[in-house]
Homo-oligomer: A and B are copies of this chain.
Amino acid sequence: MLKTNAGRFFEDYTIGDVIHHAVPRTVSRGERALYHALYPARHALYSSDEFARASGLPESPLDDLAAFHVVFGKSVPDISLNAVANLGYAEGRWLKPVYAGDTLRSVSEVIGLKQNSSGKTGVVYVRTSGINQNDEPVMQFVRWVMVRKRDENAPAPETVVPELKGTLEIADLLIPEGLDFGKYDIALSGEPHRWGDYQIGEKIDHVDGVTIEEAEHMMATRLWQNTAKVHFDATHRDDGQRLIYGGHVISMARALSFNGLANAQMIIGLNGGAHANPCFSGDTVRAWSEVLDKADTNTPSVGAVRLRLVAYKSDAVFQLKQENGKYMPQVLLDLDYWVVMPK
């Protein structure tokens, strides 16, 4: 009997399958400190317990993206070990802040299957949920990946493509219970710009850049127990390069966006995202944002802003795509998400 996990192939997924991913994880202030060492993260709500308390929370939560990475990382051995490509995200919702001492596990349901015309691969859609020690969901997202077939002659399953919202509406999203920006201190948060100061269509260049190192992206990726070999084994790819976990670029870009979006405190929704080009050690990552939409919430002191976050390397380009519709070669990430801001 083979003891090691070779990962699942396209034939191994069935619509409605519920996969309980392995290795629950208790997070602590150690993970919080490491997040601050690995990314230039400065949003005050995640840096200061006092600031979090003044905002109606019991203490600083784990960064929303760290919670995402933990939940995502657990799904890798069952969903994307044999993935050819991570094709997209949709309907990401943060449902409950994660605090030191919480234990997270992940569960995915197979909600879509579509064999590709080549007959060699297929697309698998899963809805993945992160669940805490009280069996409460803390976040949820859909992703779809292209997976190899084990046997090219295996019959194609019935095609099921889930209906997914291209953009979540504010009514789909949850404002964390108790969150209140009524006493928000802009001297402590770092910038004066509130919800009312941002205009739809506005673009913000986040100025700073960070040159990526192998040791850092591997430590980050391991911390979320994401063990996909392409991130760690320099002999795996023909070019001898380790592919950087896309989530590392997301966290880097989000942290860089502090400069101009210091008051975009909490992420509450993920509409979609594309890892436009691969990122490698030595690349210098920069970011810009565009305000895509704004909305009121049912909490008077809290407004919601929908943002595009673009990470790119080397030269600044506000241009996203080429004439042929493909992303510019400098673009690493194109993310569409909802945040909350003080009004």
Binding site for B on A (CB under 8 A): 1, 3-5, 20, 22-26, 28-34, 36-40, 42-44, 47-51, 59-60, 77, 100-101, 103, 105, 133, 187-191, 193, 197, 204-211, 213-216, 218-220, 222-223, 225, 227, 229, 232-236, 242, 259-262, 282, 284, 314
Contact = CB atoms under 8 A, between A and B. Distances in A.
A312 B343 CA distance: 51
Nearest to A225: B42
A24 B188 contact: yes
A193 B33 contact: no
Nearest to A240: B211
B218 A213 contact: yes
A51 to B, nearest CB: 6
A201 to B, nearest CB: 14
A37 B190 contact: no
Nearest to A32: B30
Nearest to A216: B215
Given A211-B242, A213-B214, A215-B216, 10 more contacts: A22-B188, A23-B47, A30-B32, A37-B223, A40-B222, A47-B225, A51-B103, A105-B188, A209-B233, A210-B233
A214 to B, nearest CB: 5
Contact of A191 (B3, B51, B208): B3
B235 A211 contact: yes
Contacts of A233: 208-211, 284
Contact of A216 (B1, B133, B219, B242): B219
A224 to B, nearest CB: 9
A33 B77 CA distance: 21
Nearest to A19: B187
B232 A23 contact: no
Contact of A208 (B38, B210, B229, B284): B229
Given A23-B42, A34-B34, A5 B209 contact: no
